[in-house]
Structure 1
Amino acid sequence: MATRTFCQTFAGVSRRQFSKAPSFYSRSITSARPVLNAETTETTTTEAKITVESLVPPVESLKKTPIRRTVAPEAITPYNISIAKLLAAGLHLGHSTSLWEPATLPFIFGTREGISIINLEHTLVYLRRACNVAREIALRGGSILFVGTRPGFQDLTIDAARQCDGFHVSSKWIPGTLTNAHQVLGRHAAPDPENPGRIPKTYKPHLIVLLNPLENKIAISEAQLNKIPVIAITDTDYDPRLVTYPIPANDDAIRGVELIAKVISSAAKDGAFRRKQLLDQKEKETKFSRNHRR
């Protein structure tokens, strides 16, 4: 009897559940159909709106977006100079083999089509040595004179001298500028305010940077008499033993000569800046010691 009632109750529960289930699933399916129809209608409308003109971006947007960023060129200094930059400036091209000076043999890499090729490894070493000399002289408070009298060298000579607060000779080297300075430069010197009748005092440079030594042999001889060191660009047709610090390179390329002048000038500027820092530090130390004594 009990089993019969249990079976009747179980059958009733199962019938209620299965009778409700179809209504649930049918309700969910019927509610999902309109959504699917809406999506299909939207996709069909968007596909109909797509044209060739809509795929191509407007011309105004292309003009506003930069295609390439311009990078400022890096300033050339004695610390980032390399053989590639010397090669790009044309400093490896020497003169014809008919004008070859035998003393330049250690600096020559070889010959090509009758032209001597300078080894830029030696050029880089001698250029760095010249930069160290210019830096030390500026660090000790010395004056530097840039000489470039060849046509086309005037502007770069003046710019190099102004960069390191030096002096320049860009037109012509007057004979006697160093050996007879009172007669040549005395009229351009400022008179003594305490004694105007006294001969104006002239000064001599502590270093000469010669950009075209072949046309300034008189300047080299006067520097030797006054024991002034000379940094000069020596090509394959000039004896490098006549100057104190030679730089084996092409002295005809304006771009290469400008590169060497800028590098030496930046080295001298660095030395002058370090000198100023040392003087300021020394002055601060003296002031501190005076205040401490009080």
Structure 2
Amino acid sequence: TKRQAQEPIAQAARACGQHFVNHRWLGGMLTNWKTISQSIKRLKALEEKLSGDVTGLTKKERLQLTREKDKLELSLGGIRDMGGVPDVMFVIDANKEDLAIKEANVLGIPVVAILDTNVDPSGIAFPVPGNDDASRAVRLYCDAVAKAASTGRNEGVVDSGADIGAMDAPPAEAVAEEAAAEA
């Protein structure tokens, strides 16, 4: 992901409770989910180990574990709680993230992408023409997608007939729980 897009992507995704990748896309992140989920488990194990009692570890061992955790956090931090492949994917720079788009196409995941004049729109289900280089434009796109995701989640809760005020859990989790209960 472009530097100017990294922070707006993370902020917008966190604001609407969505998963994100705002650093380098690892090959197989969607098509080889089994391996990626093992890396996520490793990240969680490292966080537990480092947050607990580390008195038995040498300074060098702690430093190595911290570096490994930081590296995994950078690559997988935004998808750590993702249970599987997404239903749709939003991409800022389609040229730079061509591998992500190819993986989504292999799995039949629709892609929404911001297309600058230098991008081939093939393989993108929902192209949005726009400037993917300017940081203000990127922030605008991310905020618009975050707002749409939040609105969609809230409408899903309203359509389900759930009382939002009486919920203990956030609306997205409630909808998922109700859907699982009905199945």
TM-score (norm 1): 0.40
Does structure 2 conserve the Cα–Cα contact (< 8 Å) formed by 1:181 and 1:202?
Answer: no
User: Structure 1 residue 168 and structure 2 residue 20: aligned?
Assistant: yes
Does structure 1 conserve the Cα–Cα contact (< 8 Å) formed by 2:90 and 2:113?
Answer: yes
Identity of aligned residues (%): 30
Does structure 1 conserve the Cα–Cα contact (< 8 Å) formed by 2:105 and 2:123?
Answer: no
Q: Which stretches in structure 2 are left out of the alignment for 5+ residues?
A: 46-81, 167-183
Question: Which of the numbers 219, 227, 252 marks the counterpart of 2:100?
Answer: 219
Q: Structure 1 residues 202 and 271, CA, compared in 2 at 3 Å: closer, same or farther?
A: closer
Offset of 1:233 from its aligned partner? 0.6
Offset of 1:274 from its aligned partner? 1.4
Q: Secondary structure at 1:188's aligned position in 2?
A: helix
Q: Secondary structure at 2:3's aligned position in 1?
A: coil
Aligned length in residues: 127
- The equivalent of 2:143 in structure 1 is 262
Does structure 1 conserve the Cα–Cα contact (< 8 Å) formed by 2:88 and 2:109?
Answer: yes
Give the AA of the match of 1:156.
Answer: P
User: Structure 1 residue 240 and structure 2 residue 88: aligned?
Assistant: no
- Kindly report which structure 2 residues correspond to 1:1-294, keeping only aligned pairs within 5 A, or say none: 149-189=1-41, 202-281=83-162
User: How many Å separate the matches in 1 of 2:131 and 2:121?
Assistant: 13
Richer in strand (by share): 1
RMSD: 2.3
Q: Which stretches in structure 1 are left out of the alignment for 5+ residues?
A: 1-148, 192-200, 285-294
Give the AA of the match of 1:182.
Answer: K
Offset of 1:278 from its aligned partner? 2.8
Does structure 2 conserve the Cα–Cα contact (< 8 Å) formed by 1:186 and 1:202?
Answer: no
TM-score (norm 2): 0.63
Does structure 2 conserve the Cα–Cα contact (< 8 Å) formed by 1:230 and 1:245?
Answer: yes
Q: Secondary structure at 1:215's aligned position in 2?
A: coil
Does structure 1 conserve the Cα–Cα contact (< 8 Å) formed by 2:93 and 2:114?
Answer: yes
Give the AA of the match of 1:258.
Answer: R
Q: Deviations over 1:163-187 (max 9, x none)?
A: 2110010111000111111112223
Give the AA of the match of 1:279.
Answer: S
The structure with more radius of gyration: 1
User: How many Å separate the matches in 1 of 2:137 and 2:163?
Assistant: 40
User: How many Å separate the matches in 2 of 1:150 and 1:281?
Assistant: 40
Q: Structure 1 residues 202 and 281, CA, compared in 2 at 3 Å: closer, same or farther?
A: closer
Offset of 1:202 from its aligned partner? 4.7
Give the AA of the match of 2:96.
Answer: E
Does structure 1 conserve the Cα–Cα contact (< 8 Å) formed by 2:93 and 2:132?
Answer: yes
